Amino acid sequence: MAGQESLMEKIVSLCKRRGFVFPGSEIYGGLANSWDYGPVGVELKNNIKQLWWDRFVHRRDDIVGIGAALIMNPKVWEASGHLGAGFADQLVECERCHERFRCDDPNSPAKEMWDHISEKHPETIGSRGRSAAVTAFKLIEEKYYTKPKKFNLMFKTFIGPAEEQANIAYFRPETAQAMFVDFKNILNTSRKTLPFGVAQIGRVFRNEITPGNFIFRTREFEQMEIEYFIPPPKRDKDWNGYFEMWQKEMHGWIKEVGIDESKIHDVEISDSERAHYSKRTIDFEFEYPFGQKELYGLAYRTDFDLKNHEKMSGQNLKYKDNETGEEFLPHVIEPSLGVDRTMLAVLLSAYAEDGERVFLKLKPKLAPYKAAVFPLLRNKEELVKKAREIYEDLRKKFMVAWDDRGNIGKRYYAQDEIGTPYCVTVDFDTLEKGDVTVRDRDTATQERIKIEDLGEFLSKKLE
């Protein structure tokens, strides 16, 4: 198996080699921590999003979806608190080279900051040694770093040609706010009654101080979020019950996408570390090769957002109970999932080695291609013709790859690395007996299947 040290390098290299993820703007020397999804990467990402939408919107009758604008009225961000200190990271700067670091808690050990000093400025560390465990506070006191400054994460832009104060706008830093701002329109058109949820998948932007670790922390990424509206605690004391229901749902999702559950930890976030809007948060942390860090978050946002939007907009955002006629602001439980982090955790969980062979044990639902079809030899017209017929037929049902380059071994190798569950080879026996070789990605075992049974065979296997 891959050693933990190098697993991340292996994933990054496989992603580039096979077309999952490329460095963004590479021919111009790249753009720090921007990544582009390649032909199979975009399929995997779309499959993740489609599965999430199916599971939480199509297969439930208490959740509806929306697709909102990325740039919203700046008042949205005033009301939500994102323009204030609540949506800012603490930042320190190296006194020598001015490199910046996140410093959320100056009292906890600051490994990244110390690693930076011992690697870039070793002449300054004296007798302490490279592996010393020091706090950020100590490093600031000893004048290695500046005092922490708050740095707001909103991505600014201008609407229209004039770059004036009055035209400042922001790219959304979370998809959530549209679900609150559109609450009344959603309620009036969907006729849902409490409890019910609103779901959205979309791109968000954050001016992160220290992006990094491949697609783990970037400045633009995609989220899959649900705002689940529940009665306020006065009327129904069970917000914790809904919270726990969503905690279970998130574990159900983690299992469905094939993320290694033994590497998931539910971490209760303390009062001082929670986001400004949350009364309870659980982070679902994953053991990445670079440490245990957040994969998803689940928060009890109370009525914080609806209350503030009601105040800022002057509009009535209350829900009316049709039975009692009472009006009130619902409270909210929010499961929030990053698409890119899902993809990273899925890839890390699926990566496997069997001797020289590298393969991705992706769930068939997520695999970019469900099967690949090969003619044994590309220069034998009758083999190519038969293989092409089978390929065209299977394509009506599944996403199928075609490959006739190189030898069969190399073709298997390429499909294994992108997680294609089955490879179908058309050989000379096929022409005589009407059957094909089907090879299983995980076991590398092969069996002969009649051409007329192939569609059904694959459908069953891929279920």
333, 389 in Cβ contact below 8 A? no
Nearer to ligand GAP, 141 or 266 (CB): 266
Residue closer to ligand GAP by CB (options 224, 372) is 224
Among 89, 303, 340, 416, binds ligand GAP (CB under 6 A): 340
The answer to whether 427 contacts ligand GAP (rule: CB under 6 A) is no
Q: Which of 105, 125, 104, 103 is nearest to 115 (CA)?
A: 125
- Asked if 297 interacts with ligand GAP (CB under 6 A), we say yes
Residue 437 is which amino acid? Answer: T
Q: Rule CB under 6 A: say whether 421 interacts with ligand GAP.
A: no
Q: What is the CA radius of gyration of the chain?
A: 26
SS (H, E, C) 54-65: HHHHHCCCCEEE
Please, what is the minimum distance in Å from the beta carbon of residue 283 to ligand GAP? 7
d(CA 168, CA 160): 9
Residue selected from 8, 57, 136, 176 as contacting ligand GAP according to rule CB under 6 A: 176
Q: Which is nearer to ligand GAP, 195 or 297 (CB)?
A: 297
Residue 338 binding ligand GAP, by CB under 6 A: yes
Residues 6+ apart with CB under 8 A from 2: 10, 351, 353
218 binds ligand GAP (CB under 6 A): yes
The 10 Å Cβ neighbour count of residue 309 is 22
Q: Is 174 in the site for ligand GAP (CB under 6 A)?
A: yes
HEC-encoded secondary structure of 307-361: HHHHHHHCCCCCEECCCCCCEECCEEEEEEEEHHHHHHHHHHHHEEEECCEEEEC
Binding of residue 437 to ligand GAP (CB under 6 A): no
208 lies in the site for ligand GAP, by CB under 6 A: yes
Selected binder of ligand GAP within 170, 180, 229, 296 (CB under 6 A): 296
Burial 252-262, CB ≥16 within 10 A → b, else e:
ebbeebbbeee
Which one of residues 18, 138, 217, 411 is an interface residue with ligand GAP (CB under 6 A)?
217
CA 260-266-272 angle, 5° bins: 145
Selected range binding ligand GAP among 70-78, 139-147, 334-342, 369-377, rule: CB under 6 A:
334-342
Stretch that binds ligand GAP, among 143-151, 191-199, 293-301, 318-326 (CB under 6 A): 293-301
CA atoms within 13 A on the CB side of 50: 10
Total residues at the site for ligand GAP (CB under 6 A)? 19
Please, what is the minimum distance in Å from the beta carbon of residue 302 to ligand GAP?
14
Pick 183 or 369: Cβ nearer ligand GAP:
183
- Chain residues that interact with ligand GAP, rule: CB under 6 A: 174, 176, 206, 208, 217-218, 221, 223, 225, 294-297, 334, 336-338, 340-341
